Structure 1
Amino acid sequence: MNTPLKIARLDINQVDFNHHLDGLLAWEGVSDKAVNERVEEIISAVRARGDAAVVEYTARFDGLEVASMADLTLDRARLEQALDRITAEQRQALEVAAERVRLYHEHQRQDSWRYTEADGTVLGQQVTPLDRVGLYVPGGKASYPSSVLMNAIPAKVAGVPEVVMVVPTPRGEINELVLAAACLAGVDRVFTVGGAQAVAALAYGTDSIPGVDKIVGPGNIYVATAKRAVFGKVGIDMIAGPSEILVICDGQTDPDWIAMDLFSQAEHDEDAQSILLSPDADFLDAVEASLNKLLGSLERSDMVRISLESRGALIKVDSLEQACELSNRIAPEHLELSVADPDAMLLQIRHAGAIFMGRFTPEALGDYCAGPNHVLPTSGTARFSSPLGVYDFQKRSSVIFCSPEGASELAKTASVLARGESLTAHARSAEYRIK
């Protein structure tokens, strides 16, 4: 018989509730000194020796025998070959997901705009895509074709001319689904390199790997540390923490469904977080029973157990309104409103990466094929951050044109403000335009 799951049971009215909740939510994704030093060493080597350093580190870390970057480069024909190699069922699933992701993100595309004032002054904004984007994809057996779709398609919808993908192939393990997804998503170039050396190559460029304007995509602690280190030279999407799900339920959803929804995040890794809020104590009991009943059926049951016992919780609240208040405090990556009237609750939600409405909308659909992006803010950053989207691959430039009359009037105001700041050249530059 399996050992019963020891998941935290909390009540919002208990005296030490805030202390327990703060402990559950605490997450430090900061790299230690050794990781930082190693990453800095790798970045310096790639900047200094380019392709040679990338080849050297790839051979060492991925266990490959490679002579040059030619051995680590895949052309478009190889991606098309992967698309042909996968099963018909897999191809159809990828095509459906890709099309849904594309259609959703086309609604996000921003256009340039301008308006003309009465004196002929023209103000506006010019929206242009980034020139080149780098996409990091985890490699080997634990690889994610869905991440390729979610990162590459918005870039292409934004009009980015070139998307460069890096994906490690440890011990030569190539995931055909990942390459097939790259083919469907319009990825232009693929290099089978990973780790901090791949991030450094994308940031600074080598003879073979072109430098990019922004790096997106998930990775391990070395990848995350390298992204943080090169930020400023290039843009990055975010430094993501462990995956999270928060479910608010009125007690009327099948407890097996809710248990599996909680499992869906806990199976990502040991640090993932799954929390259920409900005003129905009997329902929390039922879900706990379902968790114990279903845990043994999972391939990653050991990982799920660690995740739920270290960072999971079943929390009793007084009302659904109170659950919304608590959700806003947590600001989860994924929020399920498994209630009879999710629209009524939606207006109370201020902070969440993605919101899944109703009993028939599990978070898992959002991971793969619903359409919205699955790259979402974690660790409470939904308070100020948003899902990855087309807007992350576009730049906005202000456009200003002054007619002679408009310049004369604006210059008078600018002059006063500039002299108030003791910036004489600013003032005189404006004053030259006064009629």
Structure 2
Amino acid sequence: MTQTETDTKASAAQAHAIDLENQHAAHNYHPLPVVVASGDGAWVTDVDGRRYLDCLAAYSAVNFGHSNPVLLDAAREQLGRITLTSRAFHNDQLGPFVTALAELAGKDLVLPMNTGAEAVESGIKVARAWGYRVKGVAPDQANIIVAAGNFHGRTTTIISFSDDQDARADFGPFTPGFRTVPYGDAAALEAAIDENTVAALIEPIQGEAGVVVPPAEYLPAVREITARHNVLFIADEIQSGLGRTGATFACDLVDVVPDLYLLGKALGGGIVPVSAVVGNRDVLGVLQPGQHGSTFGGNPLAAAVGLAVVKMLATGEMQETARIRGARLHDGLTKLVGRGVVAVRGAGLWAGIDIDPALASGREVCEALMSRGLLAKDTHGSTIRLAPPIVVSDDDIDWAVEQLTIVLGEFAAAK
């Protein structure tokens, strides 16, 4: 068989897989035309045998790399024992997991759930219950302050306080009780607080908005303001937490401790969905049996994998690696400003790159990068995001920057 015949056969295999998905999967995503079949570390391989550097890491869910042997071992061991009991019974994995996670976060209690959106919904319920039962807010009057440009998920309640029209259009009526203020503006947040405000729900770094990093004084000011007004500070660390930014939590970068952490994505090691609300007993303790729950939340398989993730983070090695390799990535990307790149933002191994819209859209750049063996994701028109697994090598980082440099040069030459 000639190389051309091999390529044709391989392309047909990929086209068939994409066609099946397009025919029978709801079209709620617009993925790049690549069909991934396997992964190892920072690299994935498609059905045609082509390898790609994964610079999305499933939106930070694969922080520790594809097929991480430590995490796979934990999953395999638990798969052979028991995977689900429901919370109607105790299981031998949940206690060790929540104990270790509480210790990692410096908190008392953990509410285990499954997806990031569930963690956000749970945090909202906890904040409202705390407001009524502890703060003394009048019944059904609680409000929560959120930031413009936020992304916390796509459930009906969460999109009620989103300003992304793609997420909102035709999904109303929406849930009341939220007030939106500009991101990074602590004074606006304080001005929005009244006697019925129970929480401020903030992403320490806004991921979907384009890896937007607020001014250094913002989160400390939010912490001070919320404490002074007896309002909970809820930090959505679902994308930014667990090593991505070079610290355990992005809040650590500015020495801030919120009342509640919302965690997810990387907590499941890229193997199973695991999320959690983590806080102290005076807040999370407002929940009583029957008031909130999840059949799969805290299941033995998820707890076993989550415990392995927490143990990995407890050494600090992953955080340090993300910090060092992230500095290398940002150094390389910053050199592209003025050469097709308008601005670069981020922390650790997380970067938002604004492409000159006169040159190309973010989608076009991502498609061109894909053709060169690099997978990235666009957002908001001309912005792309890079978030490779923390196990990425120095050579991989340099190669990624090189591919972006080449692609930008090709777009510039075509103008």
Whether the TM-score (by the shorter chain) exceeds 0.5 is no
Q: Which has the larger radius of gyration?
A: 1
Give 1 or 2: higher helix fraction: 1
- What's the TM-score, normalizing by structure 2? 0.29
- What's the TM-score, normalizing by structure 1? 0.28
- Which structure is richer in relative contact order (CA contacts within 8 A, separation 6 or more)? 2
